[in-house]
Structure 1
Amino acid sequence: MLKQSLQQKLLQKLSPQQIQVIKLLELPTLQLEERIKKELEENPVLDEGGSEENIQEDYQEEENDIKDKDQEEFSLEDYIEDDDTPSYKLAAQNYSKDDKHEDIPFSGGTTFHEQLISQLGLRILTPEKAALAEYLIGNIDEDGYLRRDIDSIVDDLAFATGINTTFEELVELLHIIQDFDPAGIGARDLQECLILQIKRKGSHNPDVKLAHQILKKYFDEFTRKHYDKIQKRLNLSDEDFKCAVDEILKLNPKPGGAFVNPMSKPSPTIIPDFILEEEDGELNLSLNSRNVPDLHISRSYVDMIEDYSRNKDNQSQDQKDAVMFVKQKLDSAKWFIDAIRQRQNTLMLTMKAIIDYQRDYFIEGDEKMLKPMILKDISELTSLDISTISRVSNSKYIQTHFGIFPLKYFFSEGLQTDTGEEVSTREIKNILQECVDNEDKKKPLTDDKLAAILKEKSYMIARRTVAKYREQLNIPVARLRKEL
């Protein structure tokens, strides 16, 4: 049986403008530059460069409506800036518009896989085998490993290219590739990679011979640092075992890294979103918008709307359609400029609150002066939502007189000492890192011992919390930190 009922629901729906502000808020400076370039390409009404002076003064008093049967009303004033500065200035003061930021060209070179294929050309192989070997090389990753199962490669060749081969034939060709430089290329796992390298050193050296034996027969024990077991089974002295381990530690776990690929893209340079300068105890904050252009609405399109307003009775339907198209683009341009303004204002408001909260730290640059601070603290100072503070903090950086830092760096939880003093968890982590850095690597500190050291320093922290912080610092357990 069908029933009808009325329900009331309170829903929050974001306008397109609000969604645009949120999306821009998440972008760091480098991506904002790309976003603005894209908008400039797509919207002919949006212009860059110096501001169009006196647009507002010329037209502020005019409010001419376009009314055409089923067309909605709009005012010319909606498309003119509503303050004394008609364009929203984005460029930072410490950079000139005449500055050139040219990319530095680099010379071409041979890629990693091309290096391997060039070595393949030195081997005498039939065209069929050479094609199979080249296919194998194509499956080797940038670290130098063939991580794909050979049976799967056999199937791929059969289904994708119609070439029939066998597991044995591919293994034979793989052994040829594994003889290429650098040693270790084409290995299917770390153990095989290290063994391939140690075999290249020959067996005349007793330390190398022993290292080969350890890698071949006791690899699992070696990776788990169960050194006592290996020494006992091989009946080795501490000195002999240490010499063999030293030979293993000289090997390269990622032989593919020996090839420098000049065509590969370098890691992106960090572009700070904020610049903080300290002078005589005063902190001056500014946005870094070096390569972001000034934005304003094109004068020619405003003139077009004004002309239509004066002569709308004599306009053809095509001209009316063109004006409505321009209206839509004017809307889009104005929303975009407003969204940029809101983004910049929100960024500055948030960063100023962080600086006020951590003023002593930003003056001195001493990490010990960082106070515990969470998103809620800055949310309360700025009256902005926590999600907004999170978006501002994400992927943004600040340049200070003592380094460049991600905004997330300044947020951390707090703990209390046995005297009731609140300290940042980062301070605890620094102490843990210092303890591990200075420990006796033959007898590394366990989590229980680390907790005891912290207790002696008045930090009452449970062993499981120590383990959590240690993992966050990417510090392995004591057993894996043990050295000979």
Structure 2
Amino acid sequence: MLRQNLQQKLLQKLSPQQIQFIKLLQIPTVGLDARIKEELEENPALEDLSLVNLNDPVEEYPDKDPDTQEFNAEETGNDEFDEFNVDDYLQEDSINDYGSKYEQNGDDEEERKEMPIAIQSSFYETLQQQLDLAPISDKDFAVGRQIIGSLDDDGYLRRSITSLLDDLAFSQNVIAEEEEVEDMLKLIQSFEPAGVGARDLQECLLIQLRKKEQTPVIQKAIKVVENYLDEFTRKHYDKLERSLNMDSVELREVIAEILKLNPKPGDAGETNTKQLQVIPDFHISNNEGTLILTLNSQNAPELRVSRSYKEMFEHYDKASQKDKKLKEAVQFVKQKLDSARWFIDAIKQRQQTLLKTMNAIMQYQYEYFLTGDERNLRPMILKDIADKIGMDISTVSRVANSKYVQTEFGTFLLKSFFSEAIQMESGEEVSNKEVKKILEECISNEDKQHPLADERLTEILKEKGYNIARRTVAKYREAMNIPVARLRREL
């Protein structure tokens, strides 16, 4: 049964400009440059002033203030109107000539030279190269290639032999026996890096140990991994000494050899390439007791609306009433101009929000940024900064979760300066960062043969005036990735 009725609703919707600002705000500095380049490629009405200056006289741009660059950086000595043809541009998609267009007018050769691409063999390519050199039949080669392709990123073979046989039959039309697959797996386990092709951690460690020179220490290490791996991982050293009839010195040598092994051989050749480069968004310097905050210059690009596109809009707008096609061209150019202005405004708003938020954090944690001592960190939550700058908590969260600040004591994620309050016996509120710092110092200075249990750490904190439960101490220890006392024990 259909009915009609009236409803009154109050809805809050984000405009396209607000959505664009939110997306730009949460992009870190390392990703902002790529985002700007993407926008420059998509919108010809947007120009990078630093690139335009390569061809234009310097005196044409006396005003480089980021707050005025959108409107004051319009004057240019080159009239580029004739270089643009709106009709041709409208037809670009159908011509499908995007690649050739940007090969001629796009990336600068000098810029390409500054960003070389490292060419190196991947983990799988390295294994494939070793397989290519093995004197085996075509069938064995197909089996070996299937095994290599089935390894995970750590270098382990997690699939069963039966599953590999099914894969070979259905994907490559190769009918193989289980023994043939086992033989090829043993061959691949002899490849470098050592330990590759193992089906579990124990097999991975044994492959590596058996490739070493079989000294008495290595033989004992093999015995430990073969028969007492669980006791080894749980650090039950007393049981190992009794079972293997070793003293603590011998066991220490054996453990040292096992710890040299790589539990993830697939990462062996790619460790350096997986490191994330952190580019700070802010810099804080100490000028004789006065903190100075600066924004990374990459966060303040010199963008402007293209003068030639403005002239093009005025030219076509005058004639648009006479020609339907020209009227469409005016709408297209206006859309590009509006998009360019919105993007520039969003970048400026991003700059202002970043500076405003970071300045509030710096003022709130002034003593910490002066000294670098984590004990000087005040309890601070997102709401404290949001109230201080008059913005929403979600805005502060977007800044804190993705931005870094470089200080004289290191580079830190803004999120690390936020912490909950803990009340001391004196009634004073301190940051839980202070408690974590004390825990870290206690554990780093403990006797490794008799590490401090959580109960003892709780007692130490209470002696210092921090009335904290044992479960809270355990939570903080786990948050710092510090294992329990038994696993911290050393011989």
Q: Does the C-alpha gap of structure 1 residues 252 and 306 become closer, same or farther in structure 2, counting only changes over 3 Å?
A: closer
Distance in 1 separating the partners of 2:342 and 2:441? 51
Q: Does the C-alpha gap of structure 1 residues 7 and 469 become closer, same or farther in structure 2, counting only changes over 3 Å?
A: same
Q: How does 1:123-202 map to 2 (within 5 A)?
A: 123-201=134-212
Distance in 1 separating the partners of 2:146 and 2:317? 68
Structure 2's unaligned 5+ residue stretches are 57-66, 74-109
Give the drift of 1:469: 0.5
Distance in 2 separating the partners of 1:467 and 1:10? 47
Q: How does 1:358-397 map to 2 (within 5 A)?
A: 358-397=365-404
Q: How does 1:417-436 map to 2 (within 5 A)?
A: 417-436=424-443
TM-score, normalising length from structure 1? 0.84
Counterpart of 1:459 in structure 2 is 466
SS at match of 2:351: helix
SS at match of 1:290: helix
Name the structure with the higher helix share: 2
Distance in 1 separating the partners of 2:471 and 2:371? 33
Match of 2:483 among 472, 476, 481: 476
Give CA-to-partner distance per residue, 1:316-344, whole Å, 9 cap, x none. 11111111111112221111111111111
Equivalent residue letter for 2:444: D
Distance in 2 separating the partners of 1:202 and 1:348? 60
TM-score, normalising length from structure 2? 0.83
**RMSD in angstroms over aligned alpha carbons?**
2.7
Give CA-to-partner distance per residue, 1:11-40, whole Å, 9 cap, x none. 211111111111111111121111111111
Equivalent residue letter for 2:166: D
SS at match of 2:292: strand
Counterpart of 1:237 in structure 2 is 247
Counterpart of 1:70 in structure 2 is none
Q: Is the 8 A contact 2:168 2:174 kept in 1?
A: yes
SS at match of 2:298: coil
Counterpart of 1:46 in structure 2 is 46
Q: Is the 8 A contact 1:24 1:340 kept in 2?
A: yes
Q: How does 1:18-167 map to 2 (within 5 A)?
A: 18-49=18-49, 85-87=69-71, 103=114, 105=116, 108-167=119-178
Q: Does the C-alpha gap of structure 1 residues 307 and 243 become closer, same or farther in structure 2, counting only changes over 3 Å?
A: closer
Counterpart of 2:330 in structure 1 is 323
Q: Does the C-alpha gap of structure 1 residues 29 and 123 become closer, same or farther in structure 2, counting only changes over 3 Å?
A: closer
Give CA-to-partner distance per residue, 1:35-76, whole Å, 9 cap, x none. 1111111112112216999xxxxxxxxxxxxxxxxxxxxxxx
Give CA-to-partner distance per residue, 1:379-421, whole Å, 9 cap, x none. 0100100001001112111122332211112111111111112
SS at match of 2:128: helix
Equivalent residue letter for 2:345: D
Q: Is the 8 A contact 1:133 1:174 kept in 2?
A: yes
Could you tell which deviates more after superposition, 465-474 or 180-189? 180-189
SS at match of 2:10: coil
Give the drift of 1:432: 1.1
Q: Is the 8 A contact 1:370 1:424 kept in 2?
A: yes
Q: Is the 8 A contact 1:88 1:294 kept in 2?
A: no
SS at match of 2:70: coil
Q: How does 1:246-261 map to 2 (within 5 A)?
A: 246-259=256-269
Q: Between Structure 1 and Structure 2, how many residues are aligned?
A: 442
Q: Does the C-alpha gap of structure 1 residues 291 and 348 become closer, same or farther in structure 2, counting only changes over 3 Å?
A: closer
Equivalent residue letter for 1:45: A
Distance in 2 separating the partners of 1:242 and 1:312? 86
Counterpart of 2:410 in structure 1 is 403
Counterpart of 1:208 in structure 2 is 218
Equivalent residue letter for 1:220: D
1:16 aligns with 2:16: yes
Distance in 1 separating the partners of 2:254 and 2:426? 51
Q: Does the C-alpha gap of structure 1 residues 303 and 257 become closer, same or farther in structure 2, counting only changes over 3 Å?
A: closer
Equivalent residue letter for 2:291: L
Give the drift of 1:291: 7.9
Counterpart of 1:79 in structure 2 is none
Structure 1's unaligned 5+ residue stretches are 54-82, 90-98
Q: Does the C-alpha gap of structure 1 residues 318 and 258 become closer, same or farther in structure 2, counting only changes over 3 Å?
A: closer
Equivalent residue letter for 1:394: N
Give CA-to-partner distance per residue, 1:230-254, whole Å, 9 cap, x none. 3333444334433332332232223
Q: Does the C-alpha gap of structure 1 residues 455 and 291 become closer, same or farther in structure 2, counting only changes over 3 Å?
A: closer
Give the drift of 1:257: 4.1
Counterpart of 2:64 in structure 1 is none
Distance in 2 separating the partners of 1:240 and 1:380? 61
